Amino acid sequence: MGTLLTFIVVFLILALVTQSAGYYRRRFSVAGSEEGGSESVAASAAVGVGAGVVVLLLLLFLYLGITRWAWLGHLSPVNAPLPSPASIASPANPVIGASPGSTPSASPSAKATP
């Protein structure tokens, strides 16, 4: 459900931005042409400010949906321990649970037996 909401919000942002760009493209023409340019600047500013505010609100909604409401799910659980690689026993790297004197060695022990 969250992924669907994410796509809907992103689609709304893109649709609003393209509609606003189309509005300004129709309103203002190339310099030197006879059409356009005489309309109210206040109406254009209101459309621009309104579109900007709606886009910012949608971006805030998208941010909260992804970070706080976990629309896309969590990558890893918060309290899960990190997996550790399996330890490899070798003379240079003995197993952690073994005692220091229990590692086999290639040379005979120095203990004398009676």
- Is this model's pTM higher than 0.75 or not? no
Mean residue pLDDT of the chain comes to 74
pLDDT of residue 11: 95
Element (H, E) at 29: none
CB 16 within 8 A of CB 56: no
pLDDT, tens digit, for every residue of 8-44? 999 999 999 888 888 877 776 666 555 555 567 778 7
pLDDT, tens digit, for every residue of 64-97? 988 888 888 766 655 666 667 766 666 666 656 5
pLDDT of residue 107: 57
CB 2 within 8 A of CB 73: yes
